[in-house]
């Protein structure tokens, strides 16, 4: 079995965390009645659930820069008093902006509707959301006044509180999907692994090394030039003995610092970490049984010998190695599929008079 450093999540810890989030989000939305607003306050409904005009305006604000950049890049359009209503090869900025904003509102509402269908959220109306925001900020202010611990910001604004609720409700929905997946056994997960292993579960590659290392730092953790020269001579002797056929174990016993880890595996896919490590950079160039020159890294001198090398994408990671990642990928895929299907089949009724009259 190929070696690969995989961070395994603890299922029990994840389930406990998601359960707490579910309780927390449900409590945040409980007590609010389904809002029936005035027609002039609603720009559209999604399966009967209203999109408040303030939700639409928020989406307009978040998408405005992207639409402006699009017309600048695609049509070389400059800002002017008539920019938003001018047709550029049949594309009108204000119409594109309104469509994108409404599409975003529909997708957001679908996410909330799915959470509501599972009993995670109770009131998903915008006025209900604003009430909960006000109550949460009041709770935080009182806690601060009473010198109690408050996690996160002292006060939420609309955007940060919405993101907080969306994140937590999404995690709670995914917890539900994960529990269903685990109840079904591993057959679905193994099938998912087989279907996606070419794209997701190939090895990132690694190099396994033997190494002899010695520090060159003094008692003040500064490089000692005299010690550096002494250690360099020792490693040169070790290098010569290895080239002459001596076993690595014998040479390491004579030259490596006591307690030094003699074997090291470098993950070739960890580009960020490897870019900061001369040892990793040298290891990436070694072939099996090849030795490096003497390398300085992190206050020590190192002599490396490659004993195993697996190239990136040359093999699949075994299911047992990545089953936690497979579960996470499966749940994320199920969630996105549900959102896509619910969005595609959603009955969206637009308040055309309000929508068409909207101006920048």
In the chain, the domains with their CATH numbers are 40-183+349-357 (no CATH), 206-310 (3.10.50.40)
Closest residue by Cα to residue 332 from 161, 196, 162, 185: 196
pLDDT digits (tens, 9 = 90+) for 315-343: 999 999 999 999 999 999 999 999 999 99
Instruction: Decide: helix, strand or coil at residue 116.
Output: helix
Please tell me the distance from the alpha carbon of residue 292 to that of residue 147, in angstroms, as a whole number: 59
Closest residue by Cα to residue 307 from 292, 287, 279: 287
Position 345 pLDDT exceeds 50: yes
User: What backbone torsions phi and psi does residue 35 show, to the nearest 5 degrees?
Assistant: -85, 135
Please tell me the distance from the alpha carbon of residue 140 to that of residue 151, in angstroms, as a whole number: 9
pLDDT digits (tens, 9 = 90+) for 297-310: 999 999 999 999 99
pLDDT at 38: 54
pLDDT digits (tens, 9 = 90+) for 100-146: 999 999 999 999 999 999 999 999 999 999 999 999 999 999 999 99
In the sheet with 348-350, reading across from the earlier edge strand, the strands are 49-52, 42-46, 348-350
Which DSSP string corresponds to 77-89?
PPP-TTGGG--BT
Average pLDDT (177-184) is: 94
Partners of 301 in the β-ladder = 214, 296
Please tell me the distance from the alpha carbon of residue 298 to that of residue 280, in angstroms, as a whole number: 12
Mean of per-residue pLDDT scores for the chain = 89
Answer whether 0.85 is exceeded by the pTM.
Answer: no
User: What backbone torsions phi and psi does residue 210 show, to the nearest 5 degrees?
Assistant: -100, 145
Alpha-carbon Rg for the chain, nearest whole angstrom, is: 30
Please tell me the distance from the alpha carbon of residue 80 to that of residue 236, in angstroms, as a whole number: 71
End-to-end CA distance of the chain: 61
Q: Which letter, b or e, does each residue of 287-305 get, where b requires 16 or more Cβ atoms within 10 Å of its Cβ?
A: eeeebbebbeeeebbbbbb
**Residue written as tokens 């009131």?**
123
Position 202 pLDDT exceeds 80: yes
């Amino acid at each position: 079995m190929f070696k690969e450093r995989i961070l395994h999540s603890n299922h029990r810890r994840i389930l406990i965390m998601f359960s707490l989030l579910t309780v927390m989000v449900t409590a945040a939305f409980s007590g609010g009645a389904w809002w029936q607003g005035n027609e002039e306050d609603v720009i559209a409904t999604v399966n009967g659930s209203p999109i408040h005009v303030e939700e639409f305006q928020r989406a307009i604000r978040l998408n405005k820069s992207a639409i402006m950049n699009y017309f600048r890049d695609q049509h070389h359009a400059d800002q002017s008093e008539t920019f938003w209503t001018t047709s550029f090869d049949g594309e009108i900025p204000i119409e594109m902006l309104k469509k994108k904003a409404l599409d975003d509102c529909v997708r957001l509402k679908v996410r909330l509707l799915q959470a509501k269908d599972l009993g995670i959220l109770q009131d998903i109306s915008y006025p209900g959301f604003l009430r909960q925001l006000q109550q949460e900020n009041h709770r935080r202010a009182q806690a601060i006044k009473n010198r109690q611990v408050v996690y996160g910001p002292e006060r939420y604004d609309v955007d940060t509180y919405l993101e907080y609720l969306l994140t937590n409700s999404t995690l709670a929905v995914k917890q539900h999907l994960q529990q269903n997946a685990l109840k079904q056994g591993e057959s679905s997960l193994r099938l998912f692994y087989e279907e996606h292993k070419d794209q997701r579960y190939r090895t990132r590659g690694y190099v396994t090394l033997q190494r002899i290392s010695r520090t060159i730092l003094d008692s003040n953790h500064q490089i000692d030039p005299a010690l550096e020269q002494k250690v360099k001579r020792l490693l040169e002797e070790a290098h010569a003995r290895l080239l002459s056929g001596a076993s690595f174990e014998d040479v390491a016993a004579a030259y490596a610092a006591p307690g030094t880890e003699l074997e090291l595996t470098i993950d070739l896919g960890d580009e960020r970490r490897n870019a900061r490590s001369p040892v990793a950079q040298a290891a990436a160039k070694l072939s099996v049984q090849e030795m490096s020159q003497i390398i300085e890294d992190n206050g020590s001198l190192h002599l490396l010998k490659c004993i195993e090398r697996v190239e990136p994408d040359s093999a699949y990671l075994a299911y047992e190695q990545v089953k936690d990642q497979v579960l996470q990928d499966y749940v994320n895929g199920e969630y996105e599929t549900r959102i896509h299907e619910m969005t595609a089949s959603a009955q969206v009724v637009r308040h055309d008079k309000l929508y068409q009259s909207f101006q920048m």
